């Protein structure tokens, strides 16, 4: 995102985990260590619901996140993404 190659990225794997299934490889808080740098460059980074990231700073918490290259792209994509997630019941 910071290099300008991507306009939108979403890692939503934690939303798909069922309690009776093995956990897939997911992002963890340390994977998002460059979020501050991205935000300083104008990238918009949110949790899956559009709020601020607020994961525990540990080695095990699975983190769902969404990044938009800028606020204009967020305004275009976020409503469609949220509608798709809600339709499937993935925002619980």
pLDDT at 20: 67
pLDDT at 10: 95
Q: Are 51 and 91 in contact (CB under 8 A)?
A: no
- pLDDT tens digits, one per residue of 64-89: 999 999 999 999 999 999 999 999 99
Residue 73 CB: number of other CB atoms within 10 A? Answer: 15
Hey, what CATH topology would domain 8-13+25-87 get? D-Maltodextrin-Binding Protein; domain 2 (3.40.190)
Q: Are 47 and 53 in contact (CB under 8 A)?
A: yes
DSSP helix/strand/coil, 46: strand
Distance CA 19, CA 47 (A): 21
pLDDT at 26: 86
The whole model's pTM is what? Answer: 0.87
- With cut-offs at 50, 70 and 90, classify the pLDDT of residue 23: low
Q: Where are the domains of the chain?
A: 8-13+25-87
């Amino acid at each position: 995102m910071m290099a300008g190659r991507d306009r939108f990225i979403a890692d939503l794997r934690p939303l798909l985990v069922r309690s009776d299934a093995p956990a897939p490889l997911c992002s963890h808080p340390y994977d998002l260590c460059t979020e501050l740098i991205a935000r300083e460059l104008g990238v918009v980074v949110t949790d899956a619901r559009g709020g601020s990231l607020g994961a525990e700073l540990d080695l095990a918490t699975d983190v769902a996140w969404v990044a938009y290259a800028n606020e204009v792209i967020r305004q275009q994509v976020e409503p469609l993404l949220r509608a798709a997630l809600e339709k499937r019941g993935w925002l619980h």
